[in-house]
Homo-oligomer: A and B are copies of this chain.
Amino acid sequence: MKQKIGFMGLGVMGSPMAANILRAGYPVTVYNRSPQKGEELVKLGAKRASSPKLLVEEADVTIAMVTGPDALAELLWGPDGAAQAFDAHKVFINMSTVPPRFTGELRDKLLPTGVTFIDAPVSGSKKPAEDATLVILAGGRKEDVDTCKPLLETMGKKVVFCGEVGQGSMMKLAINLLLGVMMEGLCEVVNFGKSAGLTLDAMFEVVSNGPLNAALYQMKAASLRENDFPVNFPLKHMAKDLKFLVDTAYDLGAPVPVGQMLLHLYRIGVAQDWGDLDFAAIMKVLNHLNPKM
């Protein structure tokens, strides 16, 4: 018999994720702070809980997908908070993106409740959430992650076991470095190429047809062509993530010379008030250093 699922956080990501669990035949109870959300899930068969605590009482496995540490803390330890109902028979999976350090603190605070805790941020945004093609970065005890794998696979195309609790967040941090490197790298090449008289179209034609091509580049082509950066992942969040990565690397003694340089450049972008643009607007920082463009 399938586990009973409690799902907290019905935003842009959470709603389609919960819907995919429902479609896979799990019984789902949902909770959202503002109750107007979730109507569609109810139509799909979800029950509603009137507090996080009541949601946990109904569920074998509770999933949280909210905007960050503060929202998560509120759900767990606020009035009628989820943590009050956690016990050794229950599982809690945090899929919200939070710093590795916060995940460590979470683990320590949840320990006395006896709840099984899994750390499972996702790689991918709205579209993959809808299409159930997220990549799920899971940290926890191997056997716990294995048990939850069928459930997690209803939301994503891939569940990657990353190590103990906290390593899911750590993986997300590492991958975001590659995201920053590739984005800035493309912009540095395009800015150089334009200075040298190459066209953006010709450069994209070469990249698109060779071994360097990546879906990321295709997603950002229009932004670079039109010098317009509607936000998908805000530049200021990339700066924040790089800061956290550089700090973590410092503690570990791992050299991140390019990561440091990116941090310098993204921080300039924030200082220029471009923090709310998409992180592809790192192009504007390079242009700012190159007034001929």
Chain A interface (Cβ within 8 Å of chain B)? 123-124, 135, 137, 157-158, 160-163, 167, 170-171, 174-175, 177-179, 181-182, 184-186, 188-189, 191-193, 195-199, 202-203, 205-207, 209-216, 219, 243, 245, 247-250, 252-265, 267-268, 270-273, 286, 288-293
Contacts and interface: CB of A to CB of B under 8 A. Distances in A.
B188 A185 contact: no
Contact of A267 (B185, B216, B253, B264): B253
A192 B174 contact: yes
A149 to B, nearest CB: 14
Contacts of A179: 212
A272 B245 contact: no
Contacts of A263: 250, 260
Given A178-B186, A185-B181, A253 B265 contact: no
Contact of A193 (B171, B188, B264, B268): B171
Contacts of A219: 211
A193 B259 CA distance: 13
Contacts of A174: 189, 192-193, 196, 198, 203
A262 B253 contact: no
Given A171-B202, A196-B248, A272-B291, 16 more contacts: A124-B210, A135-B206, A162-B202, A175-B189, A177-B189, A182-B185, A185-B258, A188-B258, A188-B259, A192-B254, A250-B263, A252-B292, A255-B289, A255-B290, A260-B260, A271-B291
9 contacts: A160-B206, A171-B203, A171-B206, A178-B212, A188-B256, A254-B293, A255-B286, A257-B261, A271-B292
